[in-house]
Structure 1
Amino acid sequence: MIKERPTQDQINKMLWNACDTFRGAFDSSEYKNYILVFMFVKYLSDVWKDHYNEYKKQYGDNEELINRKLNRERFVLPKNCTFDYIYDHRNDADIGEQIDKILYKIEEQNFEKLDGVFRNISFNSEKLGQTKDRNRRLLNLIKDFAKPELDFRPSLWEGKQDVLGEAYMYLLEKFASGAGKKGGEFFTPKEVSQLLARLVAPKEGARILDPTAGSASLLVQVAEQVTDSDGNPSRDFAVYGQESNGDTWALSKMNCFIHGMDAARIEWCDTINNPKLIEGNSLMKFDIVVANPPFSLDKWGHENAEADRHRRFLRGVPPKSKGDYAFILHMIETTLPTGRVGVIVPHGVLFRGGAEGKIRQRLIEENLLEAVVGLPSNLFFGTGIPAAILIFNKARTRTPSGVERNILFIDASKDYQDGKKQNVLREKDIEKVVSTYKAFETKDKYSYVATFEEVKDNDFNLNIPRYVDTFEEEEPVDIEATKKEIASLETQLAKVREEMEGYLKELNF
């Protein structure tokens, strides 16, 4: 037992150091699953142990009553399926196989919640090396998680219940940073997620969807922005997602559980070609729909779009080599008449012509588009290109004339902090965008409220520089002062050369 609980930064560092077990053995895009699954099992075990101890205090040696109470917990762990059991058998020659059996039993016991979550991972796999190397790596991993600082029992963290959720997000971000282009496939940078969450501003009772959920980092951030009528945080919401990659889908499920969102419904499916969030024969509808879809996805399902049974492409079929508008159209069709959409897109979505230009025109003519926010470059993992956020507001269609048809353009591309690998949005940058959006106002060199007629005159091109003038005039150059400065520098240079020649003569050069 340790006297003082470690800080969030210390927890994060210890968990990241646990990855040393696998570094060099295989790629982080693969070993991240082992670390995060093991962390999840440790979390389940510590919660189970904590509750067992609480019931033990209440009911003494009445194990039958204790077990009845435990069987009503969020997650039920079968006998010998805890981290403590794994630790006690850490030196067994078949420890990898034992861990796999434990995962299977936990999944089977909690079938409704965990069905399929562990199906794509094996701690007995040769990915971890041959038997001797594999056992050594697993022993190191078990020892790392056995450290008292990584005891996740809730009773030890009163007032800091989000410590594990923060740690899980930290690891996801670190893995995404090291995975290059692949990192962007499962994680949206925290600050970008926070900005988008504050722009869509979900309210109490909201049903929230991310149709390209990844590891659910964006979905969790949006859910945590839900507030009641007084502006206080609220847990009255429902979260939904769809994710096509099986490994990433498993990470999203665990992420939601660790953040206490047990009722989250995340489907493993192809959002465009086989959406599974269905009510009756129709797509489910949501109050808030957010996404960071894959940029300009090729082979997204163009060949099936015209026959789409959900009629998502009546405004037009996007080009087969660029699926951006396929996701946008899906999001709009899954939004309630009073709902809001927030989507991250590459800048090409704002101005490309052809089929995309026609779809964009239809969306604007229907008064769905409310705001366009230009972001700085190099914010996202695996790509340095700048992106934009589009906000669609279905409630605007109820007021088809007047100022309600205006579109707000924000150029936030210059507001960021330089990073070693990536640029980062600061709190003041996020607040500036959000306050401007809420005020819906023109600010010199930063934002512009365009009328429908202006956008129409621009052929429905949404390229931000067409609306926000960010040109900065150069300061006039004082020619005479510049000449004097050059003359002074030349005099100094001649003096230095003269001194250098003197030194060289003294040294016989």
Structure 2
Amino acid sequence: MEEMVQERINRLVVLAGKSFFGHSHSGTQLHQVMAVLLLKHASDVWNKTHKTLREKFSDDQAAIDERMKRLRFPLLWENTLEHLFDNRNHPGFATRIDRVLSDLVGGSRGLPEEILKGIAFNADASGLRNRKLKTLVADLANPMLDLSDNVRLGEAVSCLLKSFFGGLTGVGEHYTQPSVSMLLARLLEPKEGMRICDPFSGTGSTLIEMAKHVRSLSGMRSRNVSLYGQDISREAWITAKLHVLLHALDNVHIEAGDIFSNPRHLEQGGLMHFDIVVGALPLDAEGPTVEEARRDPYRRFLRGCPPKGRGDFGYMQHAVETLGPQGRAGLVVPQGVLFRGQREGVIRRSLVEENLVDAVIALPPRLVYGAGIPAAIIIFNKARKTKSVVFIDASKEQIIGRKTTGWTDEDIERIVSTYRQRESVAKFSYVSSQAQIRNNQFNLSVFRYIGSDREGELSKAIILNEDDILKLESELAQVRSDIRMELRDLLGADGDDILSKVNEPLPYYLPEGCRVVMVLDGPLGILMVDATQFFVRRTDEPARSPHKASYLKKSTRSRQPFKKIVAKNSRKTSIVLKKDHSH
């Protein structure tokens, strides 16, 4: 029964949010919906508490008023959502909502005034926005929707965020899918009294999931935990502050700022240390420069400075350096950090040789970062008593053989139990010694240690030839750079936007059915890359064929500049970016 009630509440809140968002999704719109949800929660608590006090104190209005002032979000009756709904057609409705929210902030505890400064409904007083605001208030003022309970409210807000971010590109920039957050919480097992930090906190969803899994020594759920977070995006910071507030979490400290140049969680003149550090690394984020790393007052980058344009190992080193003596970290990372060489290889080698790496878990594509970018979880442990590393292949969406689009509780339990028991399971997990990792040049790719689904010689050949594949990955990175340069010439300044906004429809100036192909003549042979993966079909187009890469026999021709060739046939128009060997 409780599950049915929660599902109904989730559905009503998500539908109200979708109606307000329309076809556009902006952070401001999300914040506005979350702010009205907060007002809805305060109104429902006000109504329920006032009814109880009226039954208890009858006509003793002074006693009722005194106790109503003690509410976490004290309101006047005329500021409740139901009263606002009854007066929604009065002039200046948006201004009235802004004033009510301002009063709510002023009288509440734990709601900084600055987070509502950018949520003003009156800032866009267009007729369309006013109609949407009235519809949102009408949807949430529904008497069948009771959000007075903190747990129900929190679950509904989590569903709203999942719906909002589900249709956006680069989801992992600020939002981590619930199944990944739950897996991290199960792997790290937070206990009461701990300090937990997400240094790239985004919407705060991972911190909230960790808080849900905090247990006392007796195994009971506990709220005795301190949560810390930081994010360079002010928009994400506002979302996180509202998110934890709607989950009624206390002792939460989320700050805005760059963790490299301005880490906000400090104590005794140095970095604050935590029992657990958790989170998903920002995608394609810049790390510190060589000079910034050398001058870092907190000495976080002694293992090395990450290369320009790839801040992954900068974030990872920050996380490791903020762990306490018994601390553990669970970080979601792009799989490229597991095998890329040069500076990153040096830092990865140091982390392994210091016996900090405890486990590596490959995740399904699109689960974290979207756009088909594979991700993994790395578990660090500063108090390891073993030198083995557990590799787990959880990259398949159906881990235990059922046809499903995601993980179930059984899937997560299988991953967690395999990690805890540190056991090797055919085609699923492998426990490697540090000597084996050293022999593999400190490559931490899960697929280096766990064989392919194919049997026999083919599986062996894939492992033996992985060095060639890793070299091709480096070649492919250059190809992607060349694609951007070619698109900039072909399409003008919009080329980068097309590549970055993979969930947007194809621009009007690209022919429908267009296919972009890169032909790279590298030292290992000719690599043909279908770059159509960087574009997403229109909603009214049939699905495109999957990305394919073809390897031809090695060519002795020297590397030459690319040139553009437009090729047509009777069935499809193709834009081919091909090597010019006519010189």
TM-score of the superposed pair, with normalisation by structure 1:
0.83
Maintained 8 Å contact 2:287/2:315: no
User: Corresponding residue for 1:440?
Assistant: 422
Q: CA separation in 2, counterparts of 1:96 and 1:113? A: 21
Q: Does 2:138 match 1:146?
A: no
Moved more, 461-470 or 356-365: 461-470
Among candidates 199, 210, 218, match of residue 211 of structure 1: 199
Deviation by residue 1:23-49 (Cα, 9 ceiling, x = unmatched): 446435542222222112211221233
The one-letter code of the counterpart of 2:334 is: P
Q: CA separation in 2, counterparts of 1:327 and 1:231? A: 33
Q: CA separation in 1, counterparts of 2:133 and 2:184? A: 39
Among candidates 153, 157, 162, match of residue 164 of structure 1: 153
Q: Does 2:237 match 1:255?
A: no
Moved more, 360-369 or 294-303: 294-303
Q: Does 2:437 match 1:455?
A: yes
User: Corresponding residue for 2:396?
Assistant: 414
Q: CA separation in 2, counterparts of 1:389 and 1:26? A: 32
Maintained 8 Å contact 1:18/1:144: yes
Q: Does 2:30 match 1:32?
A: yes
Q: Does 2:279 match 1:297?
A: no
The one-letter code of the counterpart of 1:463 is: S
Q: Which secondary structure does the structure 2 equivalent of 1:240 belong to?
A: strand
User: Corresponding residue for 2:6?
Assistant: 8
Q: How many Å apart are 1:273 and its aligned residue?
A: 2.0
Q: Does 2:340 match 1:352?
A: yes
Q: Does 2:387 match 1:405?
A: yes
Q: How many Å apart are 1:443 and its aligned residue?
A: 1.3
Q: Does 2:233 match 1:245?
A: yes
Taking a change above 3 Å as real, the CA distance of residues 30 and 381 of structure 1, as seen in their structure-2 partners, is farther
Q: How many Å apart are 1:354 and its aligned residue?
A: 1.5
Taking a change above 3 Å as real, the CA distance of residues 61 and 263 of structure 1, as seen in their structure-2 partners, is farther
Q: Which secondary structure does the structure 2 equivalent of 1:405 belong to?
A: coil
User: Corresponding residue for 1:66?
Assistant: 64
Q: How many Å apart are 1:414 and its aligned residue?
A: 2.4
Taking a change above 3 Å as real, the CA distance of residues 169 and 98 of structure 1, as seen in their structure-2 partners, is same
User: Corresponding residue for 1:108?
Assistant: 106
Q: Does 2:253 match 1:271?
A: no
The one-letter code of the counterpart of 2:143 is: P
The one-letter code of the counterpart of 2:362 is: G
Q: CA separation in 1, counterparts of 2:276 and 2:391? A: 21
Maintained 8 Å contact 1:408/1:450: yes
Q: CA separation in 2, counterparts of 1:83 and 1:336? A: 46
Maintained 8 Å contact 1:226/1:234: yes
Q: CA separation in 2, counterparts of 1:361 and 1:30? A: 43
The one-letter code of the counterpart of 1:469 is: G
Alignment of structure 1 residues 352-391 onto 2, 5 Å: 352-380=340-368, 382-391=370-379
Taking a change above 3 Å as real, the CA distance of residues 46 and 302 of structure 1, as seen in their structure-2 partners, is farther
Q: How many Å apart are 1:216 and its aligned residue?
A: 1.0
Q: How many Å apart are 1:172 and its aligned residue?
A: 0.2
Maintained 8 Å contact 1:78/1:109: no
Maintained 8 Å contact 2:399/2:411: no
The one-letter code of the counterpart of 1:203 is: K
User: Corresponding residue for 1:483?
Assistant: none
Among candidates 158, 166, 171, match of residue 177 of structure 1: 166
Maintained 8 Å contact 1:316/1:359: yes
Q: CA separation in 1, counterparts of 2:52 and 2:313? A: 53
Q: Which secondary structure does the structure 2 equivalent of 1:388 belong to?
A: strand
Q: CA separation in 1, counterparts of 2:35 and 2:67? A: 26
Choose 1 or 2 for highest CA Rg. Answer: 1
Among candidates 44, 47, 50, match of residue 48 of structure 2: 50
Q: Which secondary structure does the structure 1 equivalent of 2:144 belong to?
A: helix
Moved more, 8-17 or 213-222: 8-17
Deviation by residue 1:201-224 (Cα, 9 ceiling, x = unmatched): 112222111111111111111111
The one-letter code of the counterpart of 2:216 is: D
Moved more, 240-249 or 440-449: 240-249
User: Corresponding residue for 1:491?
Assistant: none
The one-letter code of the counterpart of 1:306 is: R
Taking a change above 3 Å as real, the CA distance of residues 22 and 95 of structure 1, as seen in their structure-2 partners, is same
User: Corresponding residue for 1:88?
Assistant: 86
Q: List structure 1 runs of 4+ shifted beyond 4 angstroms.
A: 3-6, 299-303
Q: Does 2:190 match 1:189?
A: no
Q: CA separation in 1, counterparts of 2:31 and 2:427? A: 45
Question: Across the two proteins, how many residue pairs are aligned to each other?
Answer: 455
Q: Which secondary structure does the structure 2 equivalent of 1:260 belong to?
A: coil
Among candidates 407, 412, 423, match of residue 430 of structure 1: 412
Moved more, 140-149 or 243-252: 243-252
Q: CA separation in 2, counterparts of 1:382 and 1:256? A: 25
User: Corresponding residue for 2:130?
Assistant: 135
Deviation by residue 1:73-107 (Cα, 9 ceiling, x = unmatched): 32333674332342232112101111112222222
Q: CA separation in 2, counterparts of 1:209 and 1:82? A: 36
Maintained 8 Å contact 1:441/1:448: yes
Moved more, 459-468 or 369-378: 459-468
The one-letter code of the counterpart of 2:169 is: G
Deviation by residue 1:404-461 (Cα, 9 ceiling, x = unmatched): 111111112224389xxx9522222211110100101111221111111111121211
Q: CA separation in 1, counterparts of 2:410 and 2:382? A: 29
User: Corresponding residue for 1:497?
Assistant: none
User: Corresponding residue for 1:121?
Assistant: 119
Q: CA separation in 2, counterparts of 1:100 and 1:18? A: 19
Moved more, 314-323 or 23-32: 23-32
Q: Which secondary structure does the structure 2 equivalent of 1:448 belong to?
A: strand
Maintained 8 Å contact 2:175/2:205: yes
User: Corresponding residue for 1:479?
Assistant: none
Deviation by residue 1:159-207 (Cα, 9 ceiling, x = unmatched): xx522111100010010011222x3322111111111111111122221
Q: Which secondary structure does the structure 1 equivalent of 2:117 belong to?
A: coil
Maintained 8 Å contact 2:288/2:305: no
Maintained 8 Å contact 1:76/1:110: yes
Moved more, 257-266 or 211-220: 257-266
The one-letter code of the counterpart of 2:354 is: E
Q: Relative contact order (C-alpha < 8 Å, sep 6+): which is higher?
A: 1
